[in-house]
């Protein structure tokens, strides 16, 4: 096997990780190889826990076997201390012969620093510049390369394409199994965005309840251009943000922010707050705005088996082929990806 073959295997390991658990960290896989024998493997399993390289080292039956071995890893080892210590510095103490890296860190602040540390320790480093890490971690790369959050849209519809009926009451479309899947999607995201109408009609909690997570709950955001939430604002806790165009509302609460430059301005402001990805859950008017302005990366439709005869709200879906369809509970889960990235 050659270097590329081993990186392909490492990428397969990376895919074992659940994005809902790795959260804002990239999914990474690693192998330790010596004399064409794979001695151990590892991948990053959970946000805040050991990275792939450290797990591969810890999985060695005999730690001394690492001497003069080759480490294969899909993404450049981290160079700075964070929730865990710098992997590049730890690897420098293993007395490896080589380190083969699939791709460099897309974060401009740390790009190439891991390689610099390893080479400074006298280790032979090869960077293959493969696309495996990019394909596995599209949100992570998008955030650092475009300097904007990755935008995922989510919508539940009836079998005939409506999202609500003529009633003012909340209409529940997805069943428990589909709801579990929605919460799994929520667990992957830094923030959840809704419009003021969804807040007023549904009063959603917008948290992760059906999945166990070790990272923070997503930040909850309401787009409220006309200050319709003014009388509710003092009831919200610190994990909410409201964006408005109403100056008086903006001046009244610390967590109410002025909405400049529309939805793009909101995304730019969220990037300044280190929000890597957002899930836009509705309502249909807000989702349609993201679609119309081409400010989206991915869209998930939960097309349920319900039939709404008095429907009054629809969303114009992307005119592209979905990349994936599968059945979840009472819903067909349909996933679209905006390959052009639109105006993002």
Based on the residue annotation, tell me whether 53 is a catalytic residue of this protein: yes
Give the Cα separation of 287 and 293 in Å (integer).
10
Whether omega for the bond prior to residue 283 falls within 30 degrees of 0, making it cis, is yes
**Bridge partners (DSSP) listed for residue 191:** 219, 278
Q: Which of 24, 53, 139, 281 is catalytic?
A: 53
Give the Cα separation of 235 and 309 in Å (integer).
36
Active site residues: 53
């Amino acid at each position: 096997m050659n270097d590329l073959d081993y990186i392909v295997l490492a990428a397969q390991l990376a895919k074992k990780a659940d994005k809902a658990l790795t959260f804002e960290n990239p999914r990474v896989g690693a192998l330790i190889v010596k004399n064409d024998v794979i001695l151990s493997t590892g991948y990053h399993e959970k946000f805040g826990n050991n990275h792939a390289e450290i797990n591969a080292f810890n999985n060695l039956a005999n730690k001394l076997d690492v001497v003069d071995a080759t480490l294969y890893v899909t993404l450049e080892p981290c160079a700075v201390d964070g929730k865990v210590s710098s992997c590049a510095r730890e690897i420098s103490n293993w007395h490896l012969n080589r380190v083969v890296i699939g791709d460099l860190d897309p974060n401009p602040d740390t790009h190439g620093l891991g390689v610099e540390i390893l080479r400074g320790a006298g280790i032979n480093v090869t960077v293959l510049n493969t696309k495996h890490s990019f394909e596995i971690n599209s949100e992570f790369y998008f955030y650092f390369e475009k300097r904007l959050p990755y935008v995922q849209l989510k919508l539940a519809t009836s079998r005939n394409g409506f999202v609500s009926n003529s009633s003012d009451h909340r209409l529940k479309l997805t069943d428990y199994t589909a709801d579990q899947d929605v919460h799994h999607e929520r667990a992957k995201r830094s923030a959840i965005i809704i419009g003021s109408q969804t807040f007023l009609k549904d009063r959603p909690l917008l948290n992760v309840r059906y999945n166990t997570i070790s990272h923070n709950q997503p930040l909850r955001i309401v787009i409220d251009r006309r200050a319709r939430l003014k009388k509710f604002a003092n009831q919200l806790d610190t994990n909410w943000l409201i964006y408005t165009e109403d100056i008086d509302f903006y001046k009244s609460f610390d967590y109410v922010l002025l909405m400049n430059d529309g939805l793009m301005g909101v995304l730019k402001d969220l990037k300044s707050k280190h929000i890597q990805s957002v899930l836009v859950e509705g309502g249909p008017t807000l989702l349609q705005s993201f679609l119309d302005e081409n400010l989206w990366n991915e869209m998930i439709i939960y097309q349920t088996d319900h039939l709404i005869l008095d429907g009054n709200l629809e969303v114009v879906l992307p005119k592209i082929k979905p990349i994936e369809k599968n059945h979840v509970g009472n819903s067909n889960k349909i996933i679209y990806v905006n390959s052009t990235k639109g105006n993002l």
